[in-house]
Amino acid sequence: MKIGLLQMDIQFGQPAKNRVYVESQFKKIQNENYDLIVLPELWSTGYDLTRLDDIADKNAEESILFLKKLAQTYNVHIIGGSVANKKDDKVYNTMLVVDKQGELVHEYSKLHLFKLMDEHHYLSAGKDSPSFTLADIHFGGFICYDIRFPEWIRKPVLEGAQVIVVVAEWPEPRTDHWLTLLKARAIENQSYVLACNRMGSDPNNQFAGNSIIIDPWGETLAQGGINEEIVTATIDISNVKAIRSRIPVFDDRRPNEYS
């Protein structure tokens, strides 16, 4: 499976401009035979939290239609980062997954809200499962701060997930944390990690970029810098089984002793 992580800057609070940019990137790569494209967290609005009540996408309808059209037009699976999703009187930070036929296959709203960036004042925590299947591969999909909670990442892996996907707006001052946590999640879960972070800045933050694809042995297959780019690698799912057989972590777990 050929993966592309769309490491992009985000126009602050400008959904229409961000959709135009994303579509322009899909046009550029339409002949490069990607199987899966991953977008970053809140790619349509950025962290314009104080205006989310006005600019959030009602029931994510416009974002879903946009991603479906891209998937069908360019014949590619899309993990559509996440969008500000307004449901009733609440706003959620919601990952959208669309297959190349244009079918919405999964939604996941961020469980762990990051209080240091005031998310809890403007967003509501979701209660969705992070597990989904795309192209006959079992994934676990997470959003940014989620990666600091290894027990949450382990949940879909115990259900059979072979690939962990993380979409983020991770700040530059904690770049080392980003890379270290992602490596740890790959190694301890013996899973591929596909982590798409934004780059650039907003009025309050400078973001880290450094989107990365890591194999189940913890080795980096591809890593971005701090500029706009598409971070690309091809993954072989059969490697997951091979590595899990080399060090049988899951056979040696003793969950009865962990509580």
Q: Which residues are catalytic?
A: 41, 110, 144
Both tokens assigned to 57? 């996408």
Secondary structure class of 253 (helix, strand, coil): coil
In angstroms, the CA 164 to CA 167 distance is 10
And the tokens for 219?
């080795």
CB 37 within 8 A of CB 77: yes
Closest C-alpha to 192, from 245, 239, 151, 142: 239
Find, among 105, 173, 176, the residue nearest to 135 by Cα.
Answer: 105
CB of 94 within 8 A of CB of 109?
Answer: yes
